Amino acid sequence: MDRTFVMVKPDGVARGLIGEVVSRLEGKGLKLVAARFEKLPEKRVMDQYREHLEKPFFPSLRHYITSGPCFLMVWEGKAVVRVVRALVGATDPAEALPGTIRGDLAMDIGRNVIHASDSPESAEREISIHFSPDELVAYRRIDESVLYE
């Protein structure tokens, strides 16, 4: 099975949407293998968003992402990066389809509730930034035999 990194951002936490996000991902059949609720330290913010460090919007992004706690998660499943990205919807909530997390729950690109890795390579990198291997829990969901061929 593949793994991906997902984070409910400070706006999603402040709005009480952690349960909604987790419910949608679990309902799809994905397996939560790690989770942590915390205010992100500066070092990990810089590592997480390294490709944006020189962009003009980075200072406001850094301020926002450290403005409150986030809920960090690792999810497991077949083609999980692609599946989660489809559930999350377009980065800009105005373009996100109804039925997606951003399409249903977000209004503004700067407060779009959730982050999800955009590729298997990003997922591996982001998971390693926020979780050590011993924090990832292996177990079987009782319904795995009916979820996958």
Give me the active site residues, please. 115
Q: How far apart are CA 17 and CA 8, in angstroms?
A: 8
Q: Is 116 helix (H, G, I), strand (E, B) or coil?
A: strand
Helix, strand counts (H, E) of the chain:
8, 4
Q: Compute how many other C-beta atoms are within 10 angstroms of the C-beta atom of residue 82.
A: 15
